[in-house]
């Protein structure tokens, strides 16, 4: 290759690298992160399946229609009061910081946010509800203790949202744990969580810059 051609090649790679190259590579990196994010849930499913307990989570696809209805209903039950609680917390001075995914609004942003919402939902509901409830039952924990443990765990890893975020997520954890214990199905919880995160992530990405946060 001649010196002139090498210079043109290097120029081309540099220009693409600092412009469109970022947009091409970053989605691949983000998708890899989403995949690795659900690995703990897959491990939990594997361990329950090894013990012949996978059926306890109620993941059968044949009931997807009813699971979908239940999931959407749960999302409404959690999301509508949750939004009111957010604004009330701000008015009362309780620290509540909602931190959505801060991705730039590009062609791949919405699909990445949708996948991220599903990843969060699968990870949290499989591990923090389905797997945790079943294993605590194996340890002969009482139902109130199991529900409290699941709710407090969910609230604790949302403390970055402030004390208000802790309370709101703990309340959601109580409802989801009770639902799972009553109906023995984790799929509606995954659907509800995915719907809630989708509204938060995608809504924030699309409306960012058009509204001012409260407080």
Domain ranges for the chain? 1-26, 38-207
Average pLDDT score over residue span 8-23:
68
**Max intra-chain CA distance, the chain:** 77
Give the residue, 196 or 31, on which the prediction is more confident: 196
Quick one: which H or E segment has residue 191?
helix 187-207
pLDDT (tens digit per residue) in 151-167? 999 999 888 877 877 88
Q: What is the pTM of this model?
A: 0.74
Buried b (16+ CB within 10 A) or exposed e, 133-162: bbbbeeeeeeeeebbbbbbebbbeebeebb
pLDDT given at position 211:
45
Q: Which pLDDT score is estimated for 215?
A: 34
pLDDT of 109 reads 65
pLDDT band at 138 (very low <50, low <70, confident <90, very high): very high
């Amino acid at each position: 290759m001649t010196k002139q051609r090498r210079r043109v090649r290097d120029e081309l790679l540099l220009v693409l690298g600092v412009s469109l190259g970022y947009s091409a590579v970053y989605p691949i990196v983000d998708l890899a992160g989403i995949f690795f994010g659900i690995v703990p849930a897959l491990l939990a499913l594997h361990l329950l399946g090894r013990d012949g307990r996978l059926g306890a989570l109620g993941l059968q696809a044949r009931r997807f229609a009813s699971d979908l209805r239940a999931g959407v209903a749960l999302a409404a039950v959690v999301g509508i009061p949750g939004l009111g609680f957010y604004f009330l917390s701000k008015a009362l001075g309780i620290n509540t910081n909602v931190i959505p995914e801060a991705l730039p609004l590009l062609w791949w942003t919405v699909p990445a946010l949708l996948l991220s919402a599903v990843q969060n939902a699968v990870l949290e509901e499989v591990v923090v509800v389905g797997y945790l409830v079943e294993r605590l039952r194996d340890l002969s924990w009482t139902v109130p203790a199991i529900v409290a443990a699941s709710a407090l765990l969910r609230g604790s890893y949302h403390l970055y949202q402030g004390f208000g975020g802790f309370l709101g997520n703990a309340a959601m954890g109580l409802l989801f744990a009770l639902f799972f214990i009553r109906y023995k199905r984790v799929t509606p919880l995954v659907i509800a969580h995915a719907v809630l995160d989708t509204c938060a992530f995608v809504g924030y990405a699309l409306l960012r810059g058009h509204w001012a946060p409260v407080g």
